[in-house]
Amino acid sequence: MLQIVEFLAVVFSALYGVLLARRLKLDFVGVYSVAFMVAFGGGTLRDLFLDRHPLFWIAAPHYPVIVFAMAVAAFFLPKLPEQTERSLNIPDAIGLAFFSIAGAGAALAEGAPLFIAAMMGAVTGTFGGVMADTICNRIPSIFRPSTPMYATCSFTGALLYAGLKQFPAANGFAAPIGVTLIIAFRLAALRYDWKLPAYSDGVEDEASEPADP
């Protein structure tokens, strides 16, 4: 079961990366690198921060091979209809949930306190995408107020999970509850367009000023 969820998390993260890199019309090196970063970047950061070795994609080297094969296949994949791209949101939310809880769990196992564990969950779940956006020369989409909540769902679920793990009685339920919360929160954020407000420094954008008569 866990194996299947992990497999799905890797595949759907990589798929996000492949589609992003394809839109930029990169070549195979670019598509594979971006897909790799999205799938493994967050977990690699977490492992480096917590000094966990070997890194999970070195310990499970079939995953990079799978992403390699996906990057090859993407060359021949026709453009996905928009409906299909939208339906990818569900497996993507599952991937986010799995990576977040796995990240928080790894941090707890290293003795990290609650807040740090929740942060590591969010880093594991979302920073692969941040890296890929950065390397593709875009301000990370999860930092922008125009995108529905993503890291917020991850952090909230990871925090709840880490909190429940403090109570021996809740130990067995913590992971399923955290995963469920993240998936439900993320899908609701997409469905109802929940966004975090933009910070403002009090300076109006010129574009948003009323036109002179």
Interface ranges with a copy of itself (CB under 8 A): 19, 21-31, 33-34, 44, 48-51, 53-55, 58, 61, 64-65, 68, 74-75, 78-79, 112-113, 115-116, 119, 130, 134-140, 142-145, 150-152, 195-203, 205
- For a copy of itself, the closer of residues 111 and 213 by Cβ is 111
- For a copy of itself, the closer of residues 5 and 80 by Cβ is 80
Q: Report the nearest approach of a copy of itself to the CB of residue 172 (Å).
A: 26
- For a copy of itself, the closer of residues 169 and 199 by Cβ is 199
Considering only CA atoms, which of 211, 204, 28, 185 is closest in space to residue 93?
185
Alpha-carbon distance of 91 to 73, in angstroms, equals: 19
DSSP string, 124-139: HHHHHHHHHHHHTTS-
- For a copy of itself, the closer of residues 89 and 134 by Cβ is 134
Q: Report the nearest approach of a copy of itself to the CB of residue 137 (Å).
A: 5
Q: Report the nearest approach of a copy of itself to the CB of residue 141 (Å).
A: 10
Cis peptide leading into 148, omega within 30 of 0? no
Side-chain half-sphere exposure of 70, counting CA atoms within 13 A: 26
Q: Report the nearest approach of a copy of itself to the CB of residue 209 (Å).
A: 15
Helices (H), the chain: 2-23, 28-50, 56-59, 62-74, 82-87, 89-109, 114-135, 151-164, 171-191
